[in-house]
Structures are given as structure tokens and as C-alpha cells.
């Protein structure tokens, strides 16, 4: 199956267990991998025969910032659900949600969750 990949989408949101995370917010980074049959668009060269990645990004931005969640697990699930609900062509989605500024006293690149969902 073919893939549409969105890598390192940077969004600012208010997710986290700590109260300051919900008031001050922080940066998040999202990687998305959508599996779909892209054979028709490969032949037609017509954007109407594919899933427009700009539309995926717009949707992610909307649903990811609409609410405040305690867990990044929940935020990732909301993103995966929205993609599958809004784009019939997408059969499977993988969401990796990274929190590079998590309030943990340690030297790290990021903490993350990765979920895979399918129809």
C-alpha cells in the first residue's frame, strides 16, 4: 500500500498533566503516515484522485488545538480518528506525537507516543 507522509509538523498546544502545561502551553511535533491506494493519482496526475496533504495538515491543526488533553496518548488518538473519519481513501494511519519540552528533569530529545489505527 502507498503512503502519504507528513514529517515534523510543529504545533503549539496546551496538553499535559501539569497545570502550567495547560496555561502556558508548549511545542509539539507530529509525524503522520497515511496508507492509501495512490495508483489512480499516480496515473492521472490529478489532485482530485488523491488525499491532499494540505487538507490533512489543516485538519490536524484544527483537532489537535481544539481541546486540552492530559495525555499525549489521547491527543494522538484524536488526530488518528479525525484522519480516518475525514478521508475515506486512507485505510491506515500512524501518528507519532513528540513532546520535546516535556517538564522532566532530564536531558532528552523528546518523549513520544506512536499509535497505529486502521479501518
**Nearest-5° Cα angle at 89, 84 to 95:** 40
Helix (H) or strand (E) run with residue 111 in it: strand 111-118
Considering Cα of 93, then 87, then 79, then 45, what sign does the dihedral take?
positive
Cell numbers that stand for 37 in this block? 491506494
Q: Which of 24, 36, 13, 12 is nearest to 119 (CA)?
A: 36
Look up 99 and say whether it is catalytic.
yes
C-alpha–C-alpha distance, residues 111 and 98, integer Å: 6
C-alpha–C-alpha distance, residues 93 and 68, integer Å: 22
Which one of the listed residues 7, 58, 94, 99 is annotated catalytic? 99
Residues with a catalytic annotation lie at 99
Amino acid at each position: 500500500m502507498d503512503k502519504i507522509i507528513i514529517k515534523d509538523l510543529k504545533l503549539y498546544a496546551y496538553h499535559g498533566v501539569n497545570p502550567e502545561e495547560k496555561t502556558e502551553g508548549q511545542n509539539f511535533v507530529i509525524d503522520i503516515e497515511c496508507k492509501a491506494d495512490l495508483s489512480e493519482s499516480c496515473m492521472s496526475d490529478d489532485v482530485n484522485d488523491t488525499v491532499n496533504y494540505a487538507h490533512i495538515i489543516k485538519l490536524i491543526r484544527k483537532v489537535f488545538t481544539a481541546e486540552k488533553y492530559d495525555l499525549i496518548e489521547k491527543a494522538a488518538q484524536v488526530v488518528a480518528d479525525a484522519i480516518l473519519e475525514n478521508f475515506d481513501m486512507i485505510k491506515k494511519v500512524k501518528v507519532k506525537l513528540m513532546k520535546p519540552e516535556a517538564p522532566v528533569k532530564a536531558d532528552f530529545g523528546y518523549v513520544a507516543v506512536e499509535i497505529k489505527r486502521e479501518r
